[in-house]
Amino acid sequence: MSVQPGSALWLLRHELRLFWFSLSSGKQGALRRPAWRVLGGGLLVWLALHAGVFALLDAIGPMGMPPRQFVIAVSALLLSTFLFMLSSALKRSVETLFDRGDMDLLLSSPLPSRSIFTVKLAGMAFGVAALYLFFLAPFAHVGLLLGQLRWLALYPVLFALALLAASLAMLLTLALVRVLGARRTRVVAQVVGAVAGALLYLLSQAGNLMAQSGGVASSASARVMASLQSVDPGSLLFLPARAALGDGPAVAVIAALGLLAGLLTVRWTHRFFVRGLQQAAGSARAAPRAGPVRYRFDRGLLQLVIIKEWRLVWRDPHLISQILLQLLYLLPICFVVFRNNQLQLTIVAAGLTMLCGSLSASLAWIILLAEDAPDLLQSSPARALTVRMAKLGAAVIPVGALVALPLLWLIVRAPLAGVLAALTMLGATVSAALVNEWTGRPATRGEFKNRGQRGVATRLLELCSVLAWSALAWLLQRAATGAPASLAFAAGLGGAAVIAFGILPLAWLLRHRVR
C-alpha cells in the first residue's frame, strides 16, 4: 500500500515498524534483526493458547445470556485490565515526553503537531493493548472458527480500553506538567503509574482481609457484593463487560467512547503536547539554590561511599517508587498480624524475612551493580575491597533500619520468636546482597525494573534465597511455638535450611561463570 510521505498514516507505519523492531529484538535501540528464537517461542505459546481456548470454548458451547456472576467476574477482570493499561500508558506517556527518542527530529520537521500527537497516542494505545491482545485474541479467533462471533468483540473493546487509557494517561501527564512543572511530573507520573498497577491487588487483599476479619469492615464488603448482585444487568456499570461478551450495542458504545476520548484528547491537547515537550527538554536542570557551599572533606572512604550511594538512591524518587512497589505487595502480610487482634508469629517472621531479602536484593543490585562511574572507582587508588564493603553496607543498613522497630516490638512481645526472626532476617538480607555481589552483571539504573532479564541466574538465586529464608523463618517459628513434630515437618525444616545456607556457596562457586 502506498502511503503519502509525511502523512499521519505514513508516520504511524514508521512508529509500528519501530515498535516491531523493539519487540522482536527484545530491547529498544537494539539491532533490527528479529530475535527469531524469542519470536518462535512466542508464536508457539500463542498457538498453545489457541488450542487451550479451543478446548474451553468447544466444551462451553455457544453461550446465551451470561449469568450475573460471570458478568461481575468479567467486569472485575476488565477493571484490573484497565488499571494495568493505565499504569503502562502512564509509563509510555512519560517516556514519550521525557525520553524523547525521535521527538526532536519529528518536531523539527514540517509535520503538523496534530499528526505527530495523533500517531504518538495511537502508538501508545497499540503498545498498551498488545500484551492483552496476545492473551485474549485467541478467544476471538477460535470464536470465529466455532461460529461464536460474540468473542470478536474483544478486539474493539481492548482497543477502546487501550485508547481510553492512553488518552487518560497523556491528559494526566500533560496536566501534571502544567500544574507541577516538567521536572516533578516525571516522578509523580511514574509513581502514580506504579501505584495504579498495584491498586487492584491491594484492594483485593484488603477485601480478603476485611472478609476474614468480620465486624464492620466485613459487612461493608458484603454490602458491596450484595449491591452488585442487585444491580440491573442492563446498568452502565456492566457496560464494558457486556461489550466484551459480545453485546452489539454495548460494543458500539465502548468503541465510540474510546474513539471519542482519543479524538478529543488530540483536538484539545496537541498544542499543549508540544509545549509539554519543550518544557520537558529543559526539565533536568533545577533552580540553583542560594547560599554558600558546605564542604565535607573530612569523611573517611567507607563513610563517603555509603553517603554517596544513599544520596544517589534518595534523589531518585522513581527508583524508590519501584523498590517500594515490591514492598507494597508484601503489605497484606503485615496486615495479617493484626487480624482478630491475634499475633501470628509465624507469618510476621516469614513476612519480615521476605521483606528484608527483597529489599536487600533490590538495594544491592542498584548499589553494587548499577554503579554510574565504575571507571572512576577502578582508576582510583581506593582499595576495591573497601569500596565493595562500603557498598554492601550501604545496601543492608537501610534494611536493618526499616525493620528495626517491628523486630524490637517482636522481641519484646515474644523474645524467642524475636531472636529467631532476627536471625532469619539477617540471613535473608546478607544472602540476597551477596548473591548480587558475586553473580550480578554490571548494569544501569534504568534497567532495574527488568533486571531479571539481564541476570537470570542472579535473579533465580536471589528468589530462591528469599523464599528459602522466609520458609525457614516460618518453620522455625512453628517449631518454637510447639508445632507437633513429624517427619514431614523435620524434612521441610531441613530442606529450607539446606537451601537457605546452600545458596551462598553456590553463588560463590558460580561467581566467575555467571559474570
Partner 1 sequence: MPDTPALALTGLSKHFGRPAVDGLDLTVRRGEFYALLGPNGAGKTTTLRMVAGLLAPDAGRIEVLGIDLALEPIAAKRKIAYLPDDPMLYGKLKPYEYLEFVAGLWGIESQAAEPRARELLAWLDLEKHAHELTEGFSRGMKQKLALAGALIHAPELLILDEPLTGLDAGAARQVKDLLLSHVQQGGTVILTTHILEVAERLAGRIGIIQHGRLIAEGTLDELRAATPGATLEDLFLRLTGPA
Q: Which three cell numbers stand for residue 290?
A: 542560594
Decide if residue 33 touches partner 1 (CB under 8 A).
Answer: no
Interface residue with partner 1 among 291, 482, 484, 505 (CB under 8 A) is 291
Which one-letter amino acid corresponds to residue 218?
S
d(CA 275, CA 281): 10
The least distance separating partner 1 from the CB of residue 441, rounded to whole angstroms, comes to 18
Segment contacting partner 1 by CB under 8 A, of 17-25, 58-66, 266-274, 308-316: 308-316
Which of 315, 487, 512, 513 is the binder for partner 1 (CB under 8 A)?
315
Assess 289 for contact with partner 1 (CB under 8 A).
yes
CB of 454 to partner 1, least distance (A): 21
Nearer to partner 1, 296 or 513 (CB): 296
Taken in order 102, 107, 112, 114, is the CA torsion positive or negative?
A: positive
Instruction: Name the residue nearer to partner 1 (CB basis): 316 or 447.
Output: 316
**Short-list 464, 465, 489, 491, CA closest to 478:** 489
For 289, other C-beta atoms within 10 Å of its C-beta total 5
Q: Which of 33, 285, 512, 513 binds partner 1 (CB under 8 A)?
A: 285
Stretch that binds partner 1, among 57-65, 263-271, 302-310, 359-367 (CB under 8 A): 302-310
CA distances from 154 to 21, 134, 243 (A): 26, 11, 8
Among 286, 401, 487, 488, binds partner 1 (CB under 8 A): 286
Window 375 to 404, contacts with partner 1 (CB under 8 A): 375-383
Rounded least distance, CB 310 to partner 1, Å: 11
Cα 389 from Cα 398, distance rounded (Å): 15
Our CB check for partner 1 shows the closer of 301 and 331 to be: 301
Q: Which stretch binds partner 1 (CB under 8 A): 99-107, 167-175, 293-301, 401-409?
A: 293-301
Which of 83, 91, 78, 171 shows the shortest CA–CA distance to 127?
A: 91
Residues 340-379 that bind partner 1 (CB under 8 A): 372-373, 375-379
Query: How far is the CA of 294 from the CAs of 75, 290, 312, 313, 426, in angstroms?
Result: 58, 12, 19, 21, 36
Interface with partner 1, residue 316, by CB under 8 A: yes
Q: Determine, following the binding rule CB under 8 A, whether residue 29 of this chain makes contact with partner 1.
A: no
Closer residue to partner 1 in complex, CB, 100/308: 308
> CB 21 → partner 1: shortest distance, Å?
26
325 touches partner 1 (CB under 8 A):
no
Report in angstroms how near the CB of residue 446 gets to partner 1 at its nearest. Answer: 11
DSSP characters over 112-161: -HHHHHHHHHHHHHHHHHHHHHHHHHHHHHHHHHHT-GGGGGHHHHHHHH
**Residue 321 carries which DSSP code?**
H
Q: Which of 18, 195, 274, 301 binds partner 1 (CB under 8 A)?
A: 301
Q: At what angle do helices 182-213 and 215-230 cross, to 10 degrees?
A: 100
Nearer to partner 1, 87 or 322 (CB): 322
- Cα atoms found within 13 Å of the Cα of residue 178, Cβ hemisphere only: 11
Question: Are 388 and 317 in contact, with CB atoms under 8 Å apart?
Answer: no
Is 449 an interacting residue with respect to partner 1 (CB under 8 A)? Answer: no
Which residue in 178, 308, 388, 454 binds partner 1 (CB under 8 A)? Answer: 308
**DSSP 3-state assignment of 79?**
helix
C-alpha to C-alpha distance for 376 and 441, rounded to whole angstroms? 18
C-alpha cell at 369: 551493580
Which segment (25-33, 187-195, 296-304, 340-348) binds partner 1 by CB under 8 A? 296-304
Question: Which residue's CB is nearer to partner 1, number 13 or number 183?
Answer: 183
For partner 1, the closer CB: 444 or 453: 444
From CA 444, how far away is CA 442, in angstroms rounded? 7
Q: What angle do the packed helices 68-94 and 113-146 form, to 10 degrees?
A: 150
Q: Least Å distance between CB 372 and partner 1? A: 5
CA 302 and chain centroid, separation: 33
Determine if 295 is a binding residue for partner 1 (CB under 8 A).
yes
Given the complex with partner 1, which of 114 and 445 has the nearer CB atom?
445
Is 288 a binder of partner 1 (CB under 8 A)?
yes
Question: Rule CB under 8 A: which residues touch partner 1?
Answer: 284-286, 288-289, 291, 293, 295-301, 304-305, 308, 311-312, 315-316, 372-373, 375-383
